[in-house]
């Protein structure tokens, strides 16, 4: 994309603006227990589509919109995880589950940077996004296959 530092910062921060904007939508969609599985599956698939579109994008403005959409869609999982732990995990294990769940974010960032380094060293940064797409599709299918009684938050 050939962008300067200011635009790179704008690109990086647009994900977090999307997170903030998606919070209200998350509360609405996850409040109806009959829609939780489908909401999570659809948001994961749409997130994967945004990642793919970002990876092939040649437009800076389009990239900003896609990163915003990615953040908007990611917040659904960020909210769902802790609520699910609170609802379904036995009291004595809640702190362990929450620790593992919340540890996923910084570990994901570290692994993402490592994966990006490997991708850039052996090809292009775009492969880091292609790999996320490959992981996201089975994740969405798992939400659809998961028993509805365990998705009622």
Nearest to 1 by CA among 56, 81, 67: 56
85-119 pLDDT, tens per residue?
A: 998 899 999 999 999 988 987 888 898 888 888 88
Residue with tokens 């540890």: 103
Residue with tokens 């974010």: 105
Is the pLDDT assigned to residue 66 strictly greater than 70?
yes
Specify the pLDDT at position 97.
92
Cβ neighbours of 134 (radius 10 Å): 9
Nearest to 67 by CA among 129, 6, 5: 129
Cβ neighbours of 37 (radius 10 Å): 19
């Amino acid at each position: 994309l050939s962008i300067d530092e200011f635009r790179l910062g704008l690109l990086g921060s647009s994900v977090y603006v999307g997170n903030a904007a998606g919070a209200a939508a998350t509360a609405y969609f996850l409040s109806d227990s009959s829609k939780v599985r489908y909401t999570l599956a659809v948001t994961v698939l749409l997130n994967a589509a945004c990642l793919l579109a970002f990876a092939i994008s040649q437009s800076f403005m389009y990239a900003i919109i896609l990163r915003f959409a990615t953040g908007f869609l990611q917040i659904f999982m960020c909210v769902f995880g802790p609520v699910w732990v609170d609802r379904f995990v036995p009291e004595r294990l809640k702190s362990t589950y929450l620790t593992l769940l919340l540890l996923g974010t910084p570990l994901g960032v570290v692994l993402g940077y490592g994966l990006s380094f490997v991708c850039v060293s052996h090809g292009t940064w775009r492969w880091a996004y292609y790999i996320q797409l490959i992981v996201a599709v089975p994740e969405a299918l798992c939400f659809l296959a998961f028993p509805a009684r365990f998705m009622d938050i």
